[in-house]
Structure 1
Amino acid sequence: MLLNKVPQRFQKLILAYILLFFFLFCLSVYLSPEVRKFVQEIRTEAKPTEERKEPFQNQFVKEEEILLNAPLVSQLPELPRGCEVTSLSMLLQYAGVNVEKMELAKRIKKDPTPFQMENGQIFFGNPNVGFVGDMYNINNPGYGVYHKPIKELAEKYLPTQIIDLTGKEFNEIEISVSNGFPVWIIINTRYSKLHPEEFDTWNTTRGKIRMTYREHSVLITGYDKNYIYFNDPLTGNKNKKAPKPDFIEAWAQMGRQAITYSKD
């Protein structure tokens, strides 16, 4: 070897320089952008599957039973048809918003289409557009309002927190309540599935809709194995209960309409 021809006193010094050069070369290769990117890709692919779950997977828990202490607000006597805005007032007050039912009744979007009967057919407003008819006087034609205008009104008070659960499984409502968030829903005054003859069909500016004069809105506050608990603005009962299977069927029959909120 060439190193053997070098005086012994210089051999160690030369060997040290060789090792230093090799170390600096390896370091420069590792720090190059192409190599670092390659190493990062290998590490990402090697991560266990459980470390790459969806952002909100398993974020919420569901208790076996729960009962929230949401405020009770009666729609009577001022709002005989104001169950929807009254239930919304309970939801917002529980969320810490100081708002009364009368303010919500004034601010809810309205569908001004007048009631007409022609050739045995009803022509009236669409609750998906806004409140239909007279909310204040039961002697005048009127109906109610569905979840979309209610959601839009709720967002004026909690702009980034309102969650639309419409169309979801009822289990999603239970999860929300279990985590401390009551849920506004549309149901009927029997809290069980209605017979087909209790429904009618209206003509609206957006086509025909199927409706029932038993339409109602409550605030779900709890559940257990057998019952759903809710604040009823019409009867004035706090944490009123109804059999769970019947309640869920009635809710589904009215279009699975539900909204709630979350923390910022």
Structure 2
Amino acid sequence: MNGDFPALAAVFAAATLTITSCGSVTEYAQDNSSDFSKKAELVTETEDTYSFKNEQEFVLDISVKEGELFPNKYEISDFKALLQNPELPTGCEVTSLCGVLNYLGFDIDKVTLADEFMPMDNVGVSTMMHAYIGDPKSEEGFGCCAPVIVQTADDYFESILSPCYAVNITGRSLKELLYQVAQGRPVIVWSTIDLMVMPTEYYWDTIDGEKMWFNGLQHCMVIYGYDLDERTLSVADPLKGNVKYEMAPFNDAYQFMGDQAVIICGNS
């Protein structure tokens, strides 16, 4: 923990604490299991049409239609992982976002994205739902949650007058995330380092009285492919590069971190 955080009193949380979402418990989607059927049939219709208004109007329907199927195996070709080190040792969230933006053709680098567009709080008066807590250029930075990455992306799009926009799809099952991948949309997800699940370590109260929880293993990655037969995911891990993870432990870590996920609608 950084000594620049006088308001952050680190204490070890009770061992009985389970699923946290950087300050709040996130409601599960209807099906968070990793027990996928052979054809991976989806029977939910939970999404609406989202739009971001700029000088142009752009609307992309990301809803999952009832009974719609997607293939057992799919990988977004040529998706290259962007590494956070050495510039952003604790900036996995903004690095993951930058990797997706670069894949979609946007000319932006991770440091500029962090410095100019990501809300930051260096003193701990906020929570990770509103800003990145700390400094991603420091080894002792904390992190941020999905709403901050959505704001970062949308502020960047607005700066270049792009009609593209980010969508917070937190609360969706892993199966629903894979549907988005099958539509060609990489999914930014909150997980843990090496998929380890351990009790949450730190908490504090903000000046406004909000509760803040932080798990030191918090990590952010991008799912860009899957294989339901082998039960693996193709993941861009900012600490490791392009890797394969087993689906079941990844889903456990994803649930543990509050089922947080973000997608980008549109490209350059």
With normalisation by structure 2, the TM-score equals 0.67
Partner of 2:30: none
- Give the drift of 1:136: 1.1
SS of the equivalent of 1:242 reads: strand
Partner of 1:92: 101
SS of the equivalent of 1:155 reads: helix
Residue 66 in structure 1 maps to residue 74 in structure 2? yes
Partner of 1:113: 123
Q: 1:183 aligns with which of 138, 162, 187?
A: 187
Larger radius of gyration: 1
Residues 172-214 of structure 1 show CA distances to partners (whole Å, capped at 9, x for unaligned) of 210010111101111110214x132x53322223422222111
Aligned equivalents of 1:190, 1:167: Cα separation in 2: 22
- Give the drift of 1:125: 4.3
1:186 and 1:258 in contact (8 A); partners too: yes
Partner of 1:228: 233
Partner of 1:256: 259
Residues 128-158 of structure 1 show CA distances to partners (whole Å, capped at 9, x for unaligned) of 11011121121xx420111101101112325
Aligned equivalents of 1:202, 1:86: Cα separation in 2: 26
Partner of 1:128: 129
Aligned equivalents of 1:60, 1:231: Cα separation in 2: 27
2:190 and 2:220 in contact (8 A); partners too: yes
Aligned equivalents of 2:206, 2:217: Cα separation in 1: 19
Residues 245 and 207 of structure 1, relative CA distance in 2, 3 Å threshold:
same
How many equivalent pairs are there?
A: 196
- Give the drift of 1:77: 0.6
Q: Which runs of 4+ in 1 moved over 4 A?
A: 58-61
Aligned equivalents of 1:179, 1:214: Cα separation in 2: 30
SS of the equivalent of 1:210 reads: strand
- Give the drift of 1:65: 1.0
Q: Alpha carbon RMSD of aligned pairs, Å?
A: 2.3
Partner of 1:3: none
Aligned equivalents of 1:91, 1:182: Cα separation in 2: 7
Question: Which letter maps to 1:104?
Answer: L
Aligned equivalents of 1:233, 1:200: Cα separation in 2: 23
- Give the drift of 1:159: 4.3
1:61 and 1:179 in contact (8 A); partners too: no
1:110 and 1:130 in contact (8 A); partners too: yes
Aligned equivalents of 2:198, 2:252: Cα separation in 1: 12
SS of the equivalent of 1:99 reads: coil
Aligned equivalents of 2:70, 2:201: Cα separation in 1: 35
Question: Which letter maps to 2:181?
Answer: V
- Give the drift of 1:76: 0.8
Aligned equivalents of 1:154, 1:64: Cα separation in 2: 30
1:112 and 1:125 in contact (8 A); partners too: no
2:153 and 2:165 in contact (8 A); partners too: no
Superposition map of 1:241-252 within 5 A: 241-252=244-255
Aligned equivalents of 2:234, 2:205: Cα separation in 1: 35
Q: 2:221 aligns with which of 210, 218, 223?
A: 218
- Gapped regions of structure 2 (runs ≥ 5): 1-47, 49-60
Residues 82-118 of structure 1 show CA distances to partners (whole Å, capped at 9, x for unaligned) of 111110011111222111101111020012325xxxx
SS of the equivalent of 1:88 reads: helix
Question: Which letter maps to 1:211?
Answer: F
- Give the drift of 1:160: 4.1
Partner of 1:102: 111
Kindly indicate whether structure 1 or structure 2 has the higher relative contact order, using CA contacts under 8 Å at least 6 residues apart.
2
Report % sequence identity: 27
Partner of 1:199: 201
Aligned equivalents of 1:172, 1:245: Cα separation in 2: 15
- Give the drift of 1:224: 1.0
1:60 and 1:179 in contact (8 A); partners too: no
Question: Which letter maps to 2:134?
Answer: G
